[in-house]
Structure 1
Amino acid sequence: MSNARNLLVIWHSRTGASKAMAQAAADHPNANLMRARDVSAVHLLAHAGFLFVGPENLAALSGEMKEMFDANYYPVLGRLEGRAYATIVAAGSDGEGAQRQLDRIATGWRLRRVADPMIVRFDAQTPEAILAEKSPCNKVLHDCRELGSGLAEGLSMGLF
């Protein structure tokens, strides 16, 4: 599996944007990448920190990301206190609803935010634009890579 100083990048994507951002963020030897539906309590407990990457759907977390939290919430409750986390939200125009929801869940687990929220807005307003495949620009991917690397390095050095 992994050791307790590694970063777990957990993602869900409907249009490709969150997947691409998660892959960029996990581009580090001390980072592990997992799709939300494959994450279990064992995976969460085996990592020192988390980067949650997913889309906002209807002003909330995507269903698959929310299901990951629902399925694992109680099995790890009381066992993750103080572990580091950060977030990347892919949004059409807002992203704040999903971000608030992520923060509320992380507060319940008593996780510690160690980086500012990253909300990437794709300005999708029509049904066609919302459903279309999305590719984050190079700057966004660079920022995701930097966030993931910073988290992974900080965890491996014991800073978080």
Structure 2
Amino acid sequence: MARLLIVHHTPSPGMQAMFEQAVAGATTDEIEGVEVIRKAALAATAADVLEADGYLLGTPANLGYMSGALKHFFDAVYYPCLDSTTGRPFSCYVHGNEGTEGALRAIGSITTGLSWKQVAEPVTVSGQPDSDSLSACWELGATVAANLMG
């Protein structure tokens, strides 16, 4: 069975809503043969990354960058996973009250270094998530999970 690892930092109600919709999309009945593992960014380990077949990342944009929690995750897993996770599918969702560009740029740089393959456009939300952005998070979760179906 394929495994999707959702690594998230959910410090706000908006991020929690986005996370819940991404999980709902990834675990919908139409997705078969994919186990979804949810890990807080500060708890996820290199072993979690190595055991997964694809990744969905969720972070707030803090001061124009990804959260410190997601940065810590990448710092902890980068070298242990560098050669073993090449080509694995991923995408992300980012919430910010101002700009999300810096967070997306940083995630893009790190995942490029890891040679992960982006399989869906990131979902970015500024301000409070509305029904359209929450639907986009659902679609994102479903899309990344569907990429792992055998």
Q: TM-score, normalised by structure 1?
A: 0.83
Distance in 1, Cα, partners of 2:3 & 2:144: 9
The answer to whether the aligner puts 1:84 opposite 2:89 as a matched pair is yes
Which runs of 5 or more structure 1 residues have no equivalent in the other structure?
Answer: 123-133
Identity of aligned residues (%): 32
Distance in 2, Cα, partners of 1:13 & 1:25: 12
Which runs of 5 or more structure 2 residues have no equivalent in the other structure?
Answer: 28-33
Indicate the residue corresponding to 1:148 in structure 2.
141
Indicate the residue corresponding to 1:107 in structure 2.
112
Distance in 2, Cα, partners of 1:114 & 1:74: 23
Superposed CA RMSD: 1.4
Tell me by how many angstroms 1:89 deviates: 0.6
Equivalent AA in structure 1 for residue 66 of structure 2: L
Deviations 1:132-160 (A, max 9, x none): xx5x2222222111110121122123xxx
Distance in 2, Cα, partners of 1:110 & 1:43: 17
Tell me by how many angstroms 1:14 deviates: 2.3
Larger Rg: 1
Alignment of 1:131-142 (within 5 A): 136-142=129-135
Indicate the residue corresponding to 1:22 in structure 2.
19
Runs of 4+ in 1 over 4 A off after TM superposition: none
Asked if 2 retains the 8 angstrom alpha-carbon contact of 1:83 and 1:111, the reply is yes
Asked if 1 retains the 8 angstrom alpha-carbon contact of 2:120 and 2:143, the reply is no
Tell me by how many angstroms 1:46 deviates: 1.1
The answer to whether the aligner puts 1:42 opposite 2:47 as a matched pair is yes
> Number of matched residues?
142
Asked if 1 retains the 8 angstrom alpha-carbon contact of 2:66 and 2:107, the reply is yes
Indicate the residue corresponding to 1:55 in structure 2.
60
Using the TM superposition, name which of 59-68 and 137-146 deviates more: 137-146
User: Match of 2:16, SS?
Assistant: helix
Tell me by how many angstroms 1:101 deviates: 0.1
Relative to its length, the structure with more strand (as a share) is 2
